[in-house]
Amino acid sequence: MKWKFKRIAVGLFRLNNSPQEIALGVAIGVFIGILPVYGLHTVLVVIAAILVRPANKIAIFLGTSISLPPTIPPITWAGYEIGRCILNGKFEPLSWSVFKDITFQKICSYYQPLFLGSVVLGIICAAISYFLVFSMAKRINLRRKRVQRV
């Protein structure tokens, strides 16, 4: 799995897309991946790929891989805590005791701060990923142009 992802990512940088298109695609994918709309990420990726024409479609899909099973708990916790802070701590902090007697009604009551905090976290992570991927893609394009000249 790790090698397949690396091969796809390297292939993405070899496409004739501009660094802006690749970075925009990854940033949109990261934002979608952080949203707590579990099960709807793929639908949102397809909608974003249709609506945001300049973004690289493969990069959008790769950006959503931020929400793999090992990263979902810290992303969910961070989103909830950010939302809780924005809503002035009106909601109780997450702890293991909360999950002992979890019900659907309890889950629904935690969703408002989770969604709000995840949107803020998604914007921050999307901005960071945009600048990181943009600088990487720009360096790779410059290196490729130098090799082509020789």
Mean pLDDT by 10 residues, the chain (150 residues): 61 72 95 93 93 90 90 93 89 77 81 95 97 90 68
Q: What is the pTM of this model?
A: 0.84
Give residue 77's pLDDT.
92
Task: Give DSSP secondary structure letters for 21-55.
Answer: HHHHHHHHHHHHHHSS-TT-HHHHHHHHHHH-TTS
Give pLDDT, residue 147. 67
Dihedral sign computed on CA atoms, order 64, 66, 70, 72:
negative
The confidence score (pLDDT) of residue 5 equals: 61
- Predicted pLDDT at 143: 75
* 8 A C-beta contact, residue 81 and residue 6: no
Residues with Cβ within 8 Å of 36's Cβ and at least 6 positions away in sequence, in order, are: 76, 79, 111, 114, 115, 118
DSSP structure string for 93-141: PP-GGGGTT--HHHHHHHHHHHHHHHHHHHHHHHHHHHHHHHHHHHHHH
